[in-house]
Structures are given as structure tokens and as C-alpha cells.
Structure 1
Amino acid sequence: MQVNSVDELVSELRQGRMVVLVDDHTEDLNQGVVMLAAEHCDAGHVNFMARKARGLVCLALTEERCRQLDLPPMVDDAIGEKSNFTLSIEAAEGIDTGISAADRAHTIQVAVAPHAQPADIVQPGHIFPLTAVPGGVLTRAGHTEAATDYARLAGLLPAAVIADILTPEGTLAEGQALADFADAHELKIGSIADLIHFRLVNERTIERVREGAIQTAYGEFHLVAYREFNSGDIHLALTRGDIAPDQPTLVRVHAQSALRDLCHSHLDERPSWSMAKCLEAVAASERGVIVLLARDESPERLLDSIDMALGGTPAAVLSQPDIYTSVGLGSQILRDLGVGKIHLMGAPIKYNAISGFDLEVLDFVDP
């Protein structure tokens, strides 16, 4: 897929034009959205997104703006790719039914006004805000974060209107279908991967704070501790062997689980990588890296894990891997350690735009 540069997209957004935003340059499993800086959104743009893109019209906002508007999450302790939805909104005044393109554009302008207040909007409504995580695509390589990052780079409020692009048959457009859509409507295409590259030249959201050799039950590892600027969390990396970008490296980016890691529980029909299994596998390999992210296990997720371990019905929340808010963060750490080609200890899931971090997943290793 031929994509335009970050500078070209920024110029388009600055001039109030829509663009197509895709994950990467690849043609397969590459989903996209049409986006526009929220400040420039009018009824014509909303109508185009609803009739031509066909996806849900959403408003990507920063955490700060969501606090300013007192917008709570749609679901408490949500997990998964769509966990960043807030309650839907409507402008409190100046609209009719709320569903028309003009009404929705008005709601967007009210929400992104410089001095907007909670009283200016009501819930529920016909605009669906999404909260971008702090750090943007360097923390989470998603369309929400990319959209707000691009708007910010254009010198505008970091808020954007986005809509998934669907085919005439109603399925998510991918690869060539996205290129055809952009060509048919004379829209420039940009990628999250290129945006990550662009930001990494001058920005990072982590720093090394400690490192040295440690002894474990599986031998000696090199430990590197990273502090995350936005949250202050400390993340750990354990490495073995000489890490080089051109040499395949066994990798695990690990979110903690009390039952799996401390109690060593497991389900026969659902094998998974515990921390002990990861250490053992890396110790036996020529080179390997384990990244342990400081992500708290919510009470609901822990109870779901307990229910499953006790033979209960698997909860729907566990069907979505808890990876979406950690891809960018884990990728930054892997890039800093010199990792390039990866044998990934994990499920065969699409990881958005990791080529932007100069990473390539060669295959997935079954536990």
C-alpha cells in the first residue's frame, strides 16, 4: 500500500480535509478509518462518514478533555480493544433530534469548544467519544491515539472525528479496499506505523532507571527497570544472550495474573504462558527477552480468573486479550533493548503498527 508521509497528512488536517488512517503499509489485516480534526468538522463531513465510510461516527478525545467534560467510561473496568468508549453525548442546546448530520456536527463543536463544560452536553446521545491514552501511539498503537496525535501535530486541538471504513457488503475494509476508498474520494492515506517512527525521532514515554544482573531459579538474567513518564509506573525487562535487531529473539510481553503467576494454576483446554514458563523458555534459548508490565489486575478480572479456575463458565471479558493498552509501551522497551525480529510467546493476534518500532513478529510460540 502506498501511503503519504506524516507531514502530508498533517498539512491536509490543518487545512480541514479528511484523510484515511491505516495501521501499516501491509495489504492484509490492515483496518482503517476516515478521520478529520474535530475543530474543522461540519455537517458535510459527518454525512460523508455516515454514508460513504459507513462506520460509527466517533470523537477521539484526550483524557484531559474527558475530565473537563466529566465523561465517565461507558463500562467500568472494561477490557479489550473497545474499552475506551465513554458515555455517548449530545449537545444540551441547539439541536433537534440529535441524529442528523448537522446535529451531530454541532454536538462535536460543543464538546471541543475551548471552555466547554459538563453542562454543555447531555447523555446519552448520538456521538460516541473515545478516550486516547496518555502518550498517544507510543503507549497504544490505536486509531484513537493516532487521530489525536495527528491533530496535535497539525497545531490543532488534540481531538478528531473518526469512523471505521466498511465495504458495500458491510464488512470492515482492509488492504486494497482501503486504498480504493481513498482513491475514489481523493483522500490521502497515512499510517500509524509512520506516525510512530515520526514521534520516536524526538519522543519517548519511558526511561531506564536501573539495570544489572540478577539471580533467578532459572539462572542469571540481565534486569532493566523502566519508568513510564505518564503514570510513573515501573516496568521490568529480563534478558538473556546477545540481543541484536537482525537476530531472532524469543520474546514475551507479560501482563501479570495472580493465579497464573503466583499459584501456577492452569486450564488444560486453555494453555497460557505463566512467568515461570517464560523464564524457563528464555533460559533455554540462545537469546530472549521478557517484558513485565506494571498493569494492575482489576478485582473483576481476578474474580473472572478464579471462576474459570474453579470450573465456571468463561467470562466474556476474558475472551478479549488484555493487550491493547500495552503494545506501544512494550514495543518501546523491546526497541530500546535492541530487539528486531521476534519469536513471540503469545497468541496469534494482530499487533497494530509494530513495524513503526522496527519490530517484526516472525511467528508465535505455543506454551
Structure 2
Amino acid sequence: MRFDSVQHLLKMLRSGGMVVITDDEQDGEGSLLMAAERTDAEAVNFMAMHARGLICLGLSEAHCKRLGLSLMVPHSRATHGVGFTCSIEAREGVTTGISVADRAHSIQVAVDPSSVAVDIVQPGHVFPVQALSGGVMQRAGHAEAACDLARLAGFQPAATLVAILDENGELARGDELQTFAQRHGLPICSIAELIHYRILHEGTIRRSGQYSLTTRHGEFSVMSFQDTYQGQLHLAIVRGEIDRERPTLVRVQAIETLRDALGCDSEGTPLQWNLERSLAHIAAVGTGVLVLLAQHESPEATLEQLRLHGAGQARAPQFPQRTLGIGAQILRDVGVRRMQLMSTEVPYKAVSGFELEVVEFVPFTC
């Protein structure tokens, strides 16, 4: 596919236009978006007629807090990463709420800097999605990309976005998105390109120190990284010399109580990498990186682990959302470019934006 530059998308957004983003260069899903501040009834009608997916409103975490919006399903981010809140509507100035004029009005009330929680009601016909504060550098999602683009274009980080469906009502992908963009004279770009643009102009991770660490598996070098958005501290535990031209053994994870602290494996399910096994394997190979993310378990997440363990079930892999892009930024900083990823095979979207490539998945075997 041929993509337009991020600068081209920003120019279109500044003029009040729409743009298309996709999360993969070959077979990714696509969204049509524009700055929320510029969204009017005509724009909502175009989205409903031509893109045909669910029309959403991407908002920052701070914006959602100001409007009193909480996640529709608590802890849904831990499951699949999409931060839907309860649907909304403007308290005043609407009739049924479903018309394009009513939805455009509700969006304008929601993004008005003077609006607070009492200015909206729930439920409604506009569907906010809470974007993570680090944008695509923290999660390579459509809401994050939309809010990033709006901010980079000079607006507040709020965007109206809608998934693009094909004529059969399925998600449009790949060349179908290219055709859609050409048909309507819209620029199109991948989230990977946006990530790369932000790497060149911004950054959310700063290396803060380097230390030697002696473990039961030998000597490692530990690099600390400060998250400039959330103030958290992440660690890269490195063994050997990293050669960006050669594949590097990589594991990215946060600490989980049952898996890492207690070393539990669910009966009847495949064994998985944990902190101890990962360090041992990296030490045996002689070169590798384990990125330890400061992601704290909620009480609900721990209880869910206990429930699944007791039932002999394994939880679905959580690797992609945790890695893109905090872990990816860290890997790039320590010199990794090509990865032998210690994980079961999972989707890994927009990784090229960090100039990273997964050449092999390495599942745990006894």
C-alpha cells in the first residue's frame, strides 16, 4: 500500500477535513477520523453513510475525568485494551439524540472546554473511547492515533472516528481502505508511520540509569527507564552485547502474582514463560533482553488469575498491548531491532513504527 505522510494528514485535519488510518500495512483495520472540534452534522452524516461503522469520540483520560466518564466495563483495558466509556448525549439542545445534527451537537458539547459532567447525560448516542495518555507510544490503538493526530494538528486531543466497513458490512482492510481513501480524496496513513513520526519529534520514555545485577543465573546489566507520562519506572534486564543486525532473544512482561511470584502453572494448560524461566533461558543463550514493565495488578486481575488457575484454564496472552509502545520504546533504546520473541504467537500491530521486527516467536517448552 502507498501511504501519505503524517504531515499531509495534519494539513488535512487543520483544514477541517477527514483522514484514514490503518493499524497494519497489509491487512489492518481502518478508521475514518477528524478533529472533534471541527465535527458538524455534515461530517457525521458522511461517516454514517460512507464508513458505516460505530461513530465514536476519542477523548484523553483527563478529558474523560472532567466529564465524569468512567469505563463502560471496569478493567476492560486489561482484557482487550479498548477504553469504551458509557455512551453520552448533550443534556440540552437535542431531541431524540440519534440524528446527525443531534450527534454533532453532543460531540461539540462534550469537547467544549467549559463543559463538565452536568452538561451531558448517559446513556446517549455518542460513544466515547478513552485514549491512553501516552497515545500511540503507549498503545497502538485507533483512539490513541486519532487523539494524537488531533493534538499534533493543533486541536485538543479529541477526535471523532468511525470504523470503515466494506459493502458486505465487514471491516475493510488493506487495499479496500486504499480504494476508500482514493474514492473520497482522503489521505491515508498507518499507525506505524505515526509512531515513527512521534519518535522523531517526541518521546515518552527516558533512560534514567544503568546498574549491574547478580542473580542465580549470573550477571546482568539493568537499565532503568522513566515513563514521562505516568511517572512509572520500567526496567530492561540485559545479558550480553546487543547486535541490532542479528535477532535478539526478547521477553516483555509485567509481574503477575501467580505466574512470577508463586511460579504457578495451570494444570492441563501449556507451560508459559515467567520471570524465572525467561532469565534462565536468556542466560543459557548468552544474549537477550527482558523488559519488566511497571504494570500493577488490580485486585480483580489477581482474583481472575486465581479463578482461571483453579479451573485449569489459561488466560489469553496480554503481550501486544503491554509492549506497544512502552516496551517497544525501551527495546529500541537498548539497540534491539530484530526479535526472537519469547511468547506464543500473537498479533503484533504497528511494530514497524518503532523500527522493530519479530522474526520468530519462541513459546516455552520444557
Deviations 1:79-107 (A, max 9, x none): 23354111110011111111111111111
Distance in 1 of aligned mates of 2:88 and 2:7: 32
Aligned length: 362
Going from structure 1 to structure 2, the CA distance change for 1:291 and 1:82 (only over 3 Å counts) comes to closer
* 1:193-216: CA deviation from partner (whole Å, max 9, x where unpaired): 111111112321122222122111
Q: Deviations over 1:142-187 (max 9, x none)?
A: 1111111111111112110111111222222111111111112211
Q: Quick check: 2:253–2:319 contact (8 Å CA) kept in 1?
A: no
2:81–2:321 CA contact under 8 A, matched in 1: no
**SS of the counterpart of 1:232?**
coil
* Separation of aligned partners in 2, 1:45 and 1:117: 24
Q: Is the 8 A contact 2:250 2:341 kept in 1?
A: yes
Q: Distance in 2 between matches of 1:312 and 1:280?
A: 26
2:45 alignment partner in structure 1: 47
Equivalence for 1:324: 321
> CA-to-partner distance for each residue in 1:306-359, whole Å, 9 max, x for gaps?
112222667xxx446264254110000000000000111113222221111110
For 1:340, the equivalent position in structure 2 comes to 337
Q: Secondary structure at the match of 1:282?
A: helix
Q: Is the 8 A contact 1:32 1:178 kept in 2?
A: yes
Secondary structure, aligned partner of 1:194: helix
Distance 1:183 1:237 in 2: 43
Partner of 2:18 in structure 1?
18
What is the TM-score normalised by the length of structure 2?
0.95
Q: Which runs of 5+ in 1 are unaligned?
A: none
Partner of 1:148: 147
Q: Distance in 2 between matches of 1:223 and 1:50?
A: 51
Runs of 4+ in 1 over 6 A off after TM superposition: none
Counting only pairs closer than 5 Å after superposition, residues 64-213 of structure 1 correspond to structure 2 as: 64-78=62-76, 79-213=78-212
Deviates more, 1:158-167 or 1:321-330: 321-330
1:192-244 deviations in Å (ceiling 9; x for gaps): 11111111123211222221221111111111111111221111111112112
Distance of aligned partners of 1:325 and 1:273 in 2 relative to their CA distance in 1, 3 Å threshold: closer
- Which stretch of structure 1 is more off in the superposition, 258-267 or 201-210? 201-210
Q: After superposing the two structures, state which structure 1 stretch, 77-86 or 301-310, moved more.
A: 77-86
Q: Hey, what's the Cα distance between the residues in 2 that align with 1:310 and 1:65?
A: 40
Query: Over aligned residue pairs, what C-alpha RMSD do you find?
Result: 1.5
Displacement, 1:286?
A: 4.1
Q: Distance between the aligned counterparts of 1:103 and 1:248, measured in 2?
A: 53
Alignment deviations for residues 272-291 of structure 1 (CA, whole Å, 9 cap, x no partner): 21111111111122421100
Once residues 161 and 325 of structure 1 are traced to their aligned partners in structure 2, the CA distance between those partners, rounded to angstroms, is 25
The change in CA–CA distance for 1:60 and 1:255 in structure 2 (over 3 A counts) is same
Q: Is the 8 A contact 1:75 1:83 kept in 2?
A: no
Partner SS, residue 80 of structure 1: helix
Q: Is the 8 A contact 1:80 1:323 kept in 2?
A: no
Task: Show the counterpart of 2:308.
Answer: 308
* Deviation readout 1:27-79 (Å, 9 max, x if unpaired): 13x11100111111111211222222121111001111111111111122222
CA distance in 2: counterparts of 1:229 and 1:197, whole angstroms? 18
1:366 to 353, 363, 366: 363
Name the SS for the 1:93 alignment partner.
coil
Choose 116-125 or 82-91, whichever is displaced more: 82-91
- Indicate the percent of aligned positions where both proteins have the same amino acid: 47
Work out the CA distance in 1 between the residues paired with 2:281 and 2:313.
30
